[in-house]
Amino acid sequence: MENLFFKCKGPFKVSEILNILNLKNKFSTNNQLVKDIKDLFSSEINDISFFHSKKYSYLARDTKASYCITTESLKDDLPQSCTPLIVENVLVSTSIVTAKFYPNSINDDFDETTEDINQTPFKDNVKSGKNVLIGNNVKIGENCSIGHNSIIEKNVLIGNNCSIGSNTIIRNSLIKDNVRILDNCIIGKHGFGFFPNKKNNLRYPHIGLVIIEENCEIGCGSTIDRGSMSNTIIGKNTYLDNQIHIAHNVKIGQNSIIAGQVGIAGSSIIGENVKIGGQAGISGHLKIGNNVEIGGGSGVIKDIPDNSKVMGYPAKNIREFLRENK
């Protein structure tokens, strides 16, 4: 799918990428062009990717990327068709290369193209409150409404029968049919991606989208960050309560229900038919299986297999938790 929000400035020569990473130009293909930077799964021939953890070896082995930013200890998991670029810190190096391909992805400046909805073609077919702003190239389906003081920024796509509450901002997002987003939500801003540095913390570029699939509801005061390299996805028929935070790259399966004040850290994958109780926290890069139930206030710090019921901190089998807390 074409990225409507961030335009790739590539291709660049391999030698240019080696130069910004301070790597020695030791490849015979240094004049070859690299088209784009993508994650391991999405990469194609003549793309560059990154590989920073053994947890993603299953993706590294099958990547189609021609080049990959990685470490000496991980390089052997890559296919022979992929040339490793060995660095000390994969994520910092990836951030530098991503910023070269997508220089407009670092800062989230406000959309200067927005104008009052009454000055746009939507004035007659979208029910709207006061002070609603719409950016360039926005598409809104039939039978939609937008509440007071809300902003729909450029290139956002909204399907049919959608309701957007008041004081809500949507950017870098694809909203499918029959979605309700309640008041005071922020959808599609960059995630909390930083690399600590004593002089100046380095922000990680976020070039992904937020995709909210059909028949979802997003509760008041919730925030959903766009993906860094891949997309943040809310699956069909999933309901989020109030004041929930969904971080970058999170994938939530269909038919899931998440209660208030839950936080899900970056790149975690939530299965289908999952129920999460209020104020639970889920650490990053975890996999929560299908049909899982997580009790309120739990802290999840490791993967949870299908059909499990857990509670507590750290979250454990609910029978074990109840036995220990009689």
Task: Specify whether 100 is located in the same domain as 176.
Answer: no
Residue 26 pLDDT exceeds 80: no
DSSP class of residue 304? B
pLDDT of 105 higher than 70 = yes
For residue 312, the model assigns a pLDDT of: 96
pLDDT digit string, tens, across residues 136-175? 999 999 999 999 999 999 999 999 999 999 999 999 999 9
**Residues that are catalytic:** 248
Whether 274 maps to a domain, the answer reads yes
The answer to whether residues 191 and 99 belong to one domain is no
**CATH code (residue 55):** 3.40.1390.10
Look at residue 210 in the predicted model and tell me its pLDDT: 98
What is the DSSP secondary structure assignment for residue 201, as one 8-state letter? P
Q: Is residue 125 in some structural domain?
A: no
**Cis bond before residue 84 (omega within 30° of 0):** no
Give a yes or no: residue 158 inside a domain. no
| E strand spans, 99-198 | 115-116, 126-128, 133-134, 139-140, 144-146, 151-152, 157-158, 163-164, 169-170, 173-175, 180-181, 186-187, 194-195
Q: Is residue 160 part of a domain?
A: no
Query: Has residue 197 been placed in a domain?
Result: yes
pLDDT at 46: 95
The tokens describing 203, both together, are 């922000």
Q: How confident is the model at residue 204 (pLDDT cuts 50, 70, 90)?
A: confident
**Residue 236 within a domain:** yes
Give the model's pLDDT for residue 1.
Answer: 59
Q: What is the DSSP string of 69-81?
A: EE-TTTGGGS-TT
| Claim to verify: residue 179 and residue 293 sit in the same structural domain | yes
- Mean pLDDT (the chain) is 94
Token digits of residue 63: 């990547």
Question: Do both 186 and 318 map to the same domain?
Answer: yes
Residues 6+ apart with CB under 8 A from 222: 182, 185, 240, 242, 243, 244, 245, 246
At 39-93, the pLDDT tens digits run 999 999 999 999 999 989 999 999 999 999 999 999 999 999 999 999 999 988 9
CA distance 86 to 278: 43
Last residue of a domain, one of 85, 105, 125: 105
Phi-psi region at 269: left, alpha or beta (left = phi > 0; alpha = psi -120 to 50): beta
In a domain, 234, yes or no: yes
Q: What is the pLDDT of residue 113?
A: 96
Do residues 184 and 310 both lie within one domain?
yes
Domain range spanning residue 31?
Answer: 12-105
70, 90, 105: which is the final residue of a domain? Answer: 105
Residue 141 lies inside a defined structural domain of this protein = no
Q: Give the integer Cα–Cα distance in Å for 296 and 276.
A: 7
Q: Are residues 101 and 180 in the same domain?
A: no
CATH number of the CATH domain containing 213: 2.160.10.10
**Co-location of 206 and 293 in the same domain:** yes
Does one domain contain both 98 and 233?
Answer: no
Query: At which of 49, 84, 105 does a domain end?
Result: 105
Q: How many domains does the chain have?
A: 2
Task: Name the pTM for this structure.
Answer: 0.93
The answer to whether 234 and 254 are in contact (CB under 8 A) is no
318 band by pLDDT with thresholds 50, 70 and 90: very high
pLDDT for 28 equals 62
Q: Is the pLDDT of residue 269 over 80?
A: yes
